[in-house]
């Protein structure tokens, strides 16, 4: 049967990247997406903004919602200090399977816990299952209509501490209007918009960084 786009992306990584070299894995995926097939990775332009925020926060605990093929997982994991707890969540089993292989190809499998499931089911269990009290950094890149309900779950289950940083992808395209309205109007967050473009295109998009004030 016909291969899937994630499977073709994995083949491109295995062919063009160097095992154990995260930078080469990132480059191979970006090359594939620019020259072969567009795919919904955060991409190189927004990826550099992601890198700068992760570096600035230097988190001890990280949550990513929306692993997809592991591109942003690799971008984040390569910057983390030893001992950092990094959980990434993927709903689609086929994507999760490819992501595991891409993360392992980059040599970062020991830094990442990939969990398969839906954020709404997982968030209430994270403290119990993974012994996490609060997340220093959260990257939102899953179903766009889940960003708002999930940030409310983070608050409800006490998963945010003073200084926790949330970074949301696609706040313009496909767009997350209700989430933006919430974080920009809530007195509990300090929000800032980072203008950019939809991965591998000239279409306007950007990242919203929100600091939880406690």
- HSE-up of 37 (CA within 13 Å, CB side)? 11
Residue 104 near which of ligand 77Q, Mg ion, none (CB within 5-8 Å, type-dependent): none
Count of residues near Mg ion by CB under 5 A: 3
* Number of Cα atoms under 13 Å in the Cβ half of residue 163: 8
84, containing H or E segment: none
For residue 22, give the nearest of 88, 79, 69, 66 by alpha carbon. 79
CA distance 66 to 190: 23
169 part of the interface to Mg ion, by CB under 5 A: yes
Q: Which residues bind ligand 77Q (CB under 6 A)?
A: 40, 65-66, 89-92, 118-119, 141-143, 146, 169-170, 173-174, 198-199
Among Mg ion, ligand 77Q, none, residue 173 binds (CB under 5-8 Å by kind) = ligand 77Q
Residue 205 Cβ vs Mg ion, minimum distance, rounded to whole Å: 8
Active-site residue, selected from the candidate residues 46, 101, 144, 209: 144
Q: Is 21 a catalytic residue?
A: no
Could you say which of 44, 64, 169, 205 is catalytic? 169
| Minimum CB distance to Mg ion, residue 141 (Å) | 4
* Candidate ranges 55-63, 116-124, 140-148, 153-161; the one touching Mg ion (CB under 5 A): 140-148
| Residue closer to ligand 77Q (CB basis): 111 or 142 | 142
* Residue 151, Cβ density class (10 Å: 0-12 exposed, 13-18 middle, ≥19 buried): buried
- Closest chain position to Mg ion (CB): 169
Nearest one of 56, 7, 51 to 32, comparing CA atoms: 7
Give the Cα separation of 73 and 186 in Å (integer): 29
Q: Which is nearer to Mg ion, 141 or 208 (CB)?
A: 141
* Residues assigned a catalytic role: 141, 144, 169-170, 199
């Amino acid at each position: 049967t016909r291969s899937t786009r994630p499977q073709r992306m994995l083949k491109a990584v295995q062919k063009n990247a160097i095992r154990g070299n995260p930078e080469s894995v990132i480059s191979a995926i970006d090359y594939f997406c620019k020259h072969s097939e567009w795919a919904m990775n955060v991409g190189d332009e927004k990826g550099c903004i992601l890198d700068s925020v992760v570096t600035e926060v230097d988190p001890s605990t990280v949550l990513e919602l929306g692993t997809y093929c592991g591109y942003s997982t690799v971008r984040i994991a390569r910057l983390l200090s030893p001992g950092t707890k990094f959980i990434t969540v993927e709903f689609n089993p086929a994507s999760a399977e490819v992501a595991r292989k891409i993360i392992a190809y980059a040599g970062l499998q020991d830094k990442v816990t990939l969990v398969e499931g839906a954020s709404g089911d997982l968030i209430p269990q994270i403290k119990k299952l993974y012994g996490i009290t609060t997340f220093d950094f959260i990257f939102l890149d899953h179903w766009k209509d889940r960003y708002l309900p999930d940030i409310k779950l983070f608050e409800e289950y006490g998963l945010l501490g003073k200084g926790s940083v949330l970074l949301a992808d696609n706040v313009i395209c496909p767009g997350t209007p209700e989430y933006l309205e919430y974080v920009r109007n809530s007195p509990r967050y300090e929000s800032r918009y980072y203008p950019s473009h939809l991965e591998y295109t000239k279409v306007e998009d950007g990242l919203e960084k929100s600091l939880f004030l406690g």
